[in-house]
Amino acid sequence: MMGTGDIFNHKLLDIIFESASYGTVIVDNNGKIQYMSENYCAFINITREQVIGEYVVNVIENTRMHLVVQTGKSEIGDLQFLKGNFVIANRIPIFEQNRIIGAIGTIIFRDVNEWKKMNRHIQNRLADKNLLTSNTENKGNVQYALHHLIGDSPKLVQVRELVKKVAGGKISVLIRGESGTGKEIIAQSIHRLSERSDQPFIKVNCASIPEQLLESELFGYEEGTFTGAKKGGRKGKFQIADGGTIFLDEIGDMPQQMQSKLLRVLQEQEIEPIGASFPKKIDVRIIAATNRPLEELIKEGRFREDLFYRINALQLFLPSLRERREDIPLLIDHFIEKYSSEVGKRMTMIEEDVYTILRHYHWPGNIRELENVIEACVYLAENGHLTINCLPDYIQSHETSNQPKSLKEMMEDHERTVIKKTLIKVNYDREEAAKALGIGNSTIYDKIKKYKLFH
């Protein structure tokens, strides 16, 4: 038997384990308890004096510590039903000269919800550092993560923080914003940061599916329902999304008859395929998006008020590009880098007037329009020079005089131009540029980062 003093005494073990986990137990090679932390004792409502020397099976329900000392195999992140809840535990055998002398078990999460919170926290941290990968092989073919929402304006930062807060759980989210602002990026980011991230993400464009086909597309049908029906029937989008997320894009364009059926799905959490005798239970999170004024449609009797309140548990507003003009230079540089790589061109010079004109254009098509413009510019650029002549005629002729720059904008434009010209002159030697401009090295690095002047 492994004695309590053979490795550590209880006082030292308490110092190590009381704050390191939610509960620690050590057994000898016979499965008898040699140590149990005070927080573990409190969790199972027993005193340490009562458990030392006792067979672990008689003290801890559903334990596997006695099996670990027999098999010598670690059990990491295992679910164990304890005190009316599932805890997450690690069990690791202790070896001395290739001989099992005992095992140590720790409770790392007291319930599954704690693990979910930690998982969400880790995903948020990964999103902050742009480390969440876009795995196109997952069930929902999710392509976007939060870092695809380019910009650091206050409004966009606020949107990102809200996405992180609402990602967990099952609350319905209504994303509102003009066309081309990135509503699908937000929907996929919520799914990716949720506990449903390994389940399907299914998108339905409510405006693009003909009304007569929408019901079968959403809810599916049984075999033999109509002439030409697929053998064995067909699952609808809601069944495919079961366990995951369904994204109802352009929900403001959904026909009224389908609005009634969708309301029932949301209320009852069940669907009824066409031709089915009985409804089928589903577990789906709803994320909807629209650029339509739903409140006005309700007044006109074109959108159900009760459905509006069902999908509108939480609203998330995406600002238009006009409302976050300070992000336009970042977006320009991002799209130039993206399409330069695709086309195989290297942009060595971007005319400063390009930034000026694009920053003050009104962008009715938002980010989607800006991306299309930059893609065309990259194709039209000659000798790696992107000039105003590459811009579409309708943007070149756009009057910017009715949108005068603020003093801050003028100063930033001038500073950006001066720093960029200096960097080009010294072949992007940052220390030389700092010296030529009479500023510190740390300052030039900050300015290069601020104005995205990477070479």
Q: What pLDDT score does 448 carry?
A: 83
Is the domain of 312 the same as that of 275? yes
Q: Would residue 4 count as lying in a domain?
A: no
Q: What pLDDT score does 272 carry?
A: 86
Is the domain of 309 the same as that of 331? no
Q: What pLDDT score does 43 carry?
A: 87
Cα distance between residue 266 and residue 172, in whole Å: 10
DSSP 8-state secondary structure symbol assigned to residue 401: T
Is the domain of 227 the same as that of 330? no
Q: Would residue 38 count as lying in a domain?
A: yes
CATH number at residue 391: 1.10.8.60
Q: Is the dihedral of CA 372, 373, 374, 375 positive or negative?
A: positive
CATH number at residue 233: 3.40.50.300
Is the domain of 198 the same as that of 70? no
Average pLDDT over residues 349-366: 90
Average pLDDT over residues 122-128: 59
Q: Which of 291, 317, 343 is the last residue of a domain?
A: 317
Is the domain of 269 the same as that of 181? yes
Q: Would residue 50 count as lying in a domain?
A: yes
Token pair recorded at residue 368 = 């989607």
Is the domain of 132 the same as that of 278? yes
Among the listed ranges 87-91, 273-277, 363-367, which one has the minimum average pLDDT value?
273-277
CATH number at residue 34: 3.30.450.20
Q: Would residue 18 count as lying in a domain?
A: yes
Single-letter amino acid code for the residue at 425: K
pLDDT over threshold 90, residue 426: no
Bridge-based pairing of strands 75-82 and 85-96 is: antiparallel
Q: What letters, b where the CB count within 10 A reaches 16 and e where it falls short, cover 44-79? A: eeeeeeebeebebeebbeebbbbebbeeeeebeeee
Token pair recorded at residue 197 = 């991230």
Residue 6's pLDDT band (cuts 50, 70, 90): very low
- Strand residues in 51-172 grouped as ranges (E): 75-82, 85-96, 99-109
Residue 112's pLDDT band (cuts 50, 70, 90): low
Cα distance between residue 199 and residue 197, in whole Å: 5
The secondary structure element, H or E, covering residue 395 is helix 393-396
Q: What pLDDT score does 420 carry?
A: 80
pLDDT over threshold 90, residue 299: yes
Q: Which of 59, 93, 110 is the last residue of a domain?
A: 110
Average pLDDT over residues 81-94: 87
Is the domain of 27 the same as that of 83? yes
Q: What pLDDT score does 197 carry?
A: 85
Q: Would residue 3 count as lying in a domain?
A: no
What is the tally of structural domains in the chain? Answer: 3
Residue 186 CB contacts under 8 Å (≥ 6 apart), including other chains = 149, 159, 163, 175, 289, 316, 318
Cβ–Cβ under 8 Å, residues 426 and 382:
no
Single-letter amino acid code for the residue at 119: N
Q: Would residue 411 count as lying in a domain?
A: yes
Residue 277's pLDDT band (cuts 50, 70, 90): confident
Is the domain of 339 the same as that of 433? yes
Q: Would residue 455 count as lying in a domain?
A: no
Q: Compute φ and ψ for 145, nearest 5 degrees.
A: -130, 175
Query: What are the Cα distances from residue 134, in Å, to 118, 215, 264?
Result: 21, 31, 34
Cα distance between residue 145 and residue 203, in whole Å: 15
Residue 135's pLDDT band (cuts 50, 70, 90): very low
pLDDT over threshold 60, residue 137: no
Q: Which of 256, 286, 317 is the last residue of a domain?
A: 317
Token pair recorded at residue 217 = 């597309």
Cβ–Cβ under 8 Å, residues 386 and 423:
no
Q: What pLDDT score does 9 carry?
A: 61
Q: What pLDDT score does 122 carry?
A: 59
Residue 120's pLDDT band (cuts 50, 70, 90): low
Is the domain of 283 the same as that of 363? no
Q: What pLDDT score does 414 carry?
A: 76
DSSP 8-state secondary structure symbol assigned to residue 390: G
Average pLDDT over residues 405-417: 73
Single-letter amino acid code for the residue at 207: A
Average pLDDT over residues 378-396: 88
User: In this predicted model, which residue has the larger pLDDT, 72 or 408?
Assistant: 72
Cα distance between residue 431 and residue 104, in whole Å: 55
Q: What pLDDT score does 143 carry?
A: 85
Is the domain of 127 the same as that of 273? yes
Residue 336 CB contacts under 8 Å (≥ 6 apart), including other chains = 347, 350, 374, 377, 378, 386
Q: What pLDDT score does 5 carry?
A: 44
Is the domain of 270 the same as that of 232? yes
Token pair recorded at residue 14 = 């308490």
pLDDT over threshold 50, residue 142: yes
Q: Percent of the chain, pLDDT > 90?
A: 40
How far from chain centre, in Å, is Cα 151?
16
Chain mean pLDDT for the chain: 84
Give per-residue pLDDT as tens, 301-331. Answer: 999 999 999 998 899 999 999 999 999 999 9
Is the domain of 361 the same as that of 430? yes
Q: Could you list the residue range(s) of the whole structural domain that residue 352 is in? A: 324-450
